[in-house]
Structure 1
C-alpha cells in the first residue's frame, strides 16, 4: 500500500514533473553560497582556473568543515522545496509520503540507525586493527567537535532528501503512472546510482563502483516497499553517511572531513570487498534480518505486483465505516 498512498493526494502525472523541477530548483538555489565562495576566491587570485572542472580540486578550496557545509546545503534546499511541492502541489500530507502507518514509526528509524551505524563502524575498526598501515589517526578534538555539530545537523537532511525524492516521491509517482511496482523500484535504483557518477570515488575506482551505488538504491527500495514506509531507509542512509563522515575519510572520497581516521590504502585495490560484498552478501543478509524482525510477507506482490487505486478507496471506506 505504500505506493498507493499517492492516490490520496493530487496525483496527475504532470505534477510529478513540476515537483521534480521544483526540487532541482531548490538544489540550485542553495548551491549559490558555494558558487559565490568560489567566485570570491577567484577574485582574490586563489583559484587555478584550469582545474575548476576537477571535483577533487574544488573540494580542497576550503577548510574541510566549511566545505562540508557548502556541499550539503544544496540537499537542504532540495528537501525544503520537495516537501513544499508535496504539500501545495499534491495536497499530500508528509505522513503519506513517509509511511502507510498512522504515524511515523521512529522506533524503526532508530533501530536501523544504530544497528547499521554500530555494525559498519565495527567493520571499519576491524579493518583498522587488521591493516593498521592502511590508516593514520586523524583525530583533532576542536575541528572534530565542529564536524560533529555540522554532520549531525546536515547529513540527515542530505540523506532524507535523497530518500524522500527517490524512495518516496519518485517511487510513488512512477508507481501510479506505470501501475507496476517493479518499474519504480528498478528506475529509482538506476537513477539514484547514476547520479553518483560524478563522485570522486568513481574516478579512483572506475565505473565498477556503480554496482555498489545502484545496488544500494535497490536495497533501500526493496526495504521501503516490503516495510511499506521510508522509516528503515531513512535510518539506514543517515547512519551510513553520518558514521562514515565521523569515523573515516580519504583524499578520494566525497566527504573529506576531520574524521577520527584517514584511509591511506590504494582505492584501486577495492574490488570484491568494497563493491560486491555489500551488494551481494551484506545487503541480502540485512534484508533477511529485517524481514524476520518486522515479519515481512508477500514479497512477490509487494515488489512485482500491480498498483491498484481501488484498494485505496476500499481502505478509506473501511475507515469511514469504522
Structure 2
C-alpha cells in the first residue's frame, strides 16, 4: 500500500532525477511563459495592453505552471500525471465538490470576521463596465492558477521530497516554505499565515489522499478575494498579496483554516475517502475439470 506522499517512489525514479526535475521545471516554465509573451506582445510592438489584460496575464502566468509540473513529473519520475492528483490517479470530483461547499462557508466566515476586526477599507464600486469583464477573467483563470500552486507545492514538491525523506513533516515543511516564498516577502504575520496555509494544505493532502481539499479552499479563497478586489475602483492594479497581511487578519485566517482542516478530515473519515491506492485483486480464473 502506498500513501499519497510516497507516489513518487516509482521503479525508475532516482534522487538525481528528482533534482534534475527541480532544475528543468523553472527552465520549462520560462520557455513556455516566454513563448506566450512573444505571441502576445510582439505583434503589438510591446505596447501597453491595459490594466485588465495585465491582470489576466499575471494570473495566467501562474496557471502555466500546471502543465509544466505534470510534464516534469512524468519525464523525470516515470509516473502518470494523475498520481499528483490523488491516490486513485485522478481528481475525485464528488469529493472536490464537498470540500468546495465547505470552503465557501469557511472563507465567507473568514472574510466577514477579518472585516469586523480590521474595520475594512474605504470602498468605491468600479461599475459594471469594469467589473463584468474582470469577473469573467477571475472565474476563468483563478481556479487554474490556484490549482497550479497546489499541484506544484502540495503535489510535486511534497511527493518529490517524501520519496527520499522518511519524515513526512519535512516534506510538508519544504513545500510550505516554497509556497510562502513564491508569494513574496511581506510582513512577518503574512509569512506565518502563508506557512500555516501551506502546512495545513500539505497535511490535508496526506490525510485525505489527494489535492482536492487544498484545491477547493485555495480556489474559493482566491476567487472571492480577487472578485471583491476587482469590484472596487483601482482593484485591477492592486499588487498586495496574503504576504502583506496584518496580525488581525492572520489570527482570524489561521483559526478558520485549522477549523476547515478539522472538518474536512472528519468528513473524509465518515465518507471513507481513499487515502491509499486500493489493492488490486487478481482476477478469478476458472479452470475446467480434467476430462476423465
* TM-score (structure 1 length as normaliser): 0.71
Task: Assess, with a 3 A threshold, how the Cα gap between structure 1 residues 73 and 26 changes in structure 2: closer, same or farther.
Answer: farther
Q: Is the 1:171–1:185 Cα contact (8 Å) retained in structure 2?
A: yes
Could you tell me how far apart the structure 2 residues matched to 1:146 and 1:9 are?
48
Counterparts of 1:173-188 in structure 2 under 5 Å? 173-188=160-175
**Which residue number corresponds to residue 307 of structure 1?**
none
Could you tell me how far apart the structure 2 residues matched to 1:164 and 1:291 are?
20
Q: 88-97 or 182-191: which moved more?
A: 88-97
Could you tell me how far apart the structure 2 residues matched to 1:30 and 1:65 are?
22
Could you tell me how far apart the structure 2 residues matched to 1:210 and 1:11 are?
33
Q: Is the 2:114–2:249 Cα contact (8 Å) retained in structure 1?
A: no
Task: Assess, with a 3 A threshold, how the Cα gap between structure 1 residues 81 and 102 changes in structure 2: closer, same or farther.
Answer: closer
Could you tell me how far apart the structure 2 residues matched to 1:212 and 1:131 are?
16
- Secondary structure at the counterpart of residue 16 of structure 2: helix
**Which residue number corresponds to residue 215 of structure 1?**
196
Q: Can you give the 5+ residue segments of structure 1 that lack an aligned partner in the other structure?
A: 45-60, 297-301, 303-311
Task: Assess, with a 3 A threshold, how the Cα gap between structure 1 residues 35 and 217 changes in structure 2: closer, same or farther.
Answer: farther
**Which residue number corresponds to residue 278 of structure 1?**
253
**Which residue number corresponds to residue 157 of structure 1?**
144
CA deviation after TM superposition for structure 1 residue 177, in Å: 0.9
CA deviation after TM superposition for structure 1 residue 247, in Å: 1.6
C-alpha RMSD of the superposition = 3.6
Q: Is the 1:34–1:71 Cα contact (8 Å) retained in structure 2?
A: no
**Which residue number corresponds to residue 266 of structure 2?**
292
Task: Assess, with a 3 A threshold, how the Cα gap between structure 1 residues 40 and 91 changes in structure 2: closer, same or farther.
Answer: same
Question: What per-residue deviation string (whole Å, max 9, x for no partner) do you get for residues 142-172 of structure 1?
Answer: 3322122222222122112211111111111
CA deviation after TM superposition for structure 1 residue 31, in Å: 4.0
Aligned residues: 271
Q: Is the 1:29–1:74 Cα contact (8 Å) retained in structure 2?
A: no
Q: Is the 1:128–1:135 Cα contact (8 Å) retained in structure 2?
A: no
Which residue of 80, 85, 103 corresponds with 1:93?
80
Could you tell me how far apart the structure 2 residues matched to 1:178 and 1:208 are?
29
CA deviation after TM superposition for structure 1 residue 239, in Å: 1.2
Which residue of 2, 5, 9 corresponds with 2:4?
2
Q: Is the 1:4–1:176 Cα contact (8 Å) retained in structure 2?
A: yes
Q: Can you give the 5+ residue segments of structure 2 that lack an aligned partner in the other structure?
A: 284-292
**Which residue number corresponds to residue 72 of structure 1?**
59
Q: Is the 1:151–1:242 Cα contact (8 Å) retained in structure 2?
A: yes
Which residue of 23, 45, 58 corresponds with 1:21?
23
- Secondary structure at the counterpart of residue 7 of structure 1: coil
Could you tell me how far apart the structure 2 residues matched to 1:86 and 1:69 are?
27
**Which residue number corresponds to residue 124 of structure 1?**
111
**Which residue number corresponds to residue 319 of structure 1?**
280
Could you tell me how far apart the structure 1 residues matched to 2:163 and 2:206 are?
14
Task: Assess, with a 3 A threshold, how the Cα gap between structure 1 residues 159 and 111 changes in structure 2: closer, same or farther.
Answer: same
Task: Assess, with a 3 A threshold, how the Cα gap between structure 1 residues 43 and 166 changes in structure 2: closer, same or farther.
Answer: closer
Counterparts of 1:185-200 in structure 2 under 5 Å? 185-198=172-185
CA deviation after TM superposition for structure 1 residue 290, in Å: 1.3
CA deviation after TM superposition for structure 1 residue 95, in Å: 2.1
